């Protein structure tokens, strides 16, 4: 199974973004509005980074007032780990686990195609294992 299969199940309009000059408080509002844990930071069509719940917590840990003044570009993660639709789901899961990240932008030739979460990856693996389990049970029972 590859990442494209996960993207196919997700709605493409679920790519929620924010501009780098918005404040962290703006980012929090958008995260809450959409019930998500990260926003891709775009300047036009160019992917600059990602801002996550962790970035927000780091920003406001000492002084919550900073959220209304600090720009997204100041706290976002700039060095992104990304994947492509052709990547194997198991490889992506390993990459996300090893790097302790929960959100992964999906790019094709520098063009943003979507974003997947660790929850999306786990769900896809669960469906695959359940399907495999059903087939094995039928095989063992002689239903084939």
pLDDT in tens for each of the 144 residues of the chain?
Answer: 899 999 988 866 678 999 999 999 999 999 999 999 999 999 998 999 999 999 999 998 978 888 999 999 999 999 999 999 999 999 999 999 999 999 999 999 989 999 999 999 999 988 888 888 888 888 888 877
Q: What pLDDT sits at residue 91?
A: 96
- CA distance to 30, 69, 110, 133, 141, per residue, from 138 (Å): 47, 60, 44, 9, 5
> Residue 130's domain spans which residues?
3-141
The tokens for 23 are 């404040």
- What is the CATH number for 121? 3.10.580.10
Q: How many domains does the chain have?
A: 1
H/E run at residue 117: strand 111-117
Q: What pLDDT sits at residue 58?
A: 92
Give the orientation angle of helix 89-99 with respect to helix 118-141, to 10 degrees: 140
């Amino acid at each position: 199974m590859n990442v494209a299969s996960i993207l196919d199940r997700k709605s493409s309009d679920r790519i929620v973004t924010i501009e780098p000059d918005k404040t962290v408080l703006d980012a929090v509002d958008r995260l809450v509005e959409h019930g998500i844990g990260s926003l891709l930071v775009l300047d036009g069509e160019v992917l600059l980074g990602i801002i996550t719940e962790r970035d927000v917590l780091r920003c406001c840990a000492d002084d919550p007032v900073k959220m209304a003044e600090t720009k997204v570009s100041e706290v976002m993660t700039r060095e992104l780990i990304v994947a492509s639709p052709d990547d194997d789901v198991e490889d992506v899961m390993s990459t996300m686990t090893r790097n302790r990240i929960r959100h992964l932008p999906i790019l094709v030739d520098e063009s943003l195609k979507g974003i997947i979460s660790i929850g999306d990856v786990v769900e896809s693996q669960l469906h695959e294992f359940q399907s495999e389990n059903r087939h094995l049970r039928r095989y063992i029972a002689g239903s084939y």
